[in-house]
Amino acid sequence: MTISGVTTPRRLLLVNGPNLNLLGTREPEIYGTATLQDVERITTDAALARGFEVRAVQSNHEGVLIDAIHAAREDCAGIVINPGGLTHTSVVLRDALAGVALPVAEVHISDVRTREQFRHFSYVADVAIVHVVGEGVAGYARSVDLLVDALTGHAEG
């Protein structure tokens, strides 16, 4: 794919932050019953349908996520990220996303806008061009679609 004369890879990085490895094991009333493996498959299927591969990383360690984001500069066209609780705490994660200057989609399974006050603020929000919240794990597929739309200059309507 060529954007502004530059050839970019047809690959997305999927980042899931701390505790998302527990999906499907607890709190189904908030996060549903799908597992992290399901999330990675849903995201990969949505991306493949648009001609993109996915490299998936989940970690409970901020530095591992930051290294994966930095590495994405080399071979990814964009990033889909659910930062988990780091959404509300991490300047470091935000700086990493801003630093690589790739298009970012921020996704949350639950509707953080209607939960506790501390979940209303996101350090990532203004470095992301796509925001999907409260659509369950299907939100990952929608994030991919909106991000690929942005990458390929697809206009809505």
Decide if 54 contacts 117 (C-beta within 8 A): no
Judged by beta carbon, residue 44 or residue 143, the one nearer ligand CA2 is 143
Q: How far apart are CA 77 and CA 2, in angstroms?
A: 10
What is the phi/psi pair of residue 141, to 5°?
Answer: -65, -40
Does the footprint of ligand CA2 cover residue 36 (CB under 6 A)? no
Q: How far apart are CA 57 and CA 22, in angstroms?
A: 14
Does the footprint of ligand CA2 cover residue 94 (CB under 6 A)? no
Judged by beta carbon, residue 113 or residue 154, the one nearer ligand CA2 is 113
Does the footprint of ligand CA2 cover residue 109 (CB under 6 A)? yes
Catalytic residues: 31, 108
DSSP 8-state secondary structure symbol assigned to residue 29:
H
Exactly one of 14, 44, 81, 84 binds ligand CA2 (CB under 6 A); that residue is 84
| Secondary-structure percent of the chain, ordered helix, strand, coil, rounded to 5 | 45, 20, 35
Question: Which H or E element spans position 132?
Answer: strand 130-133
* Shortest separation between residue 61's beta carbon and ligand CA2, angstroms: 15
Which one of 25-33, 60-68, 72-80, 141-149 is the stretch in contact with ligand CA2 (CB under 6 A)? Answer: 25-33
Which residue ranges make up the site for ligand CA2 (CB under 6 A)?
19-20, 22-23, 25-27, 31, 82, 84-85, 87, 108-110, 112, 119
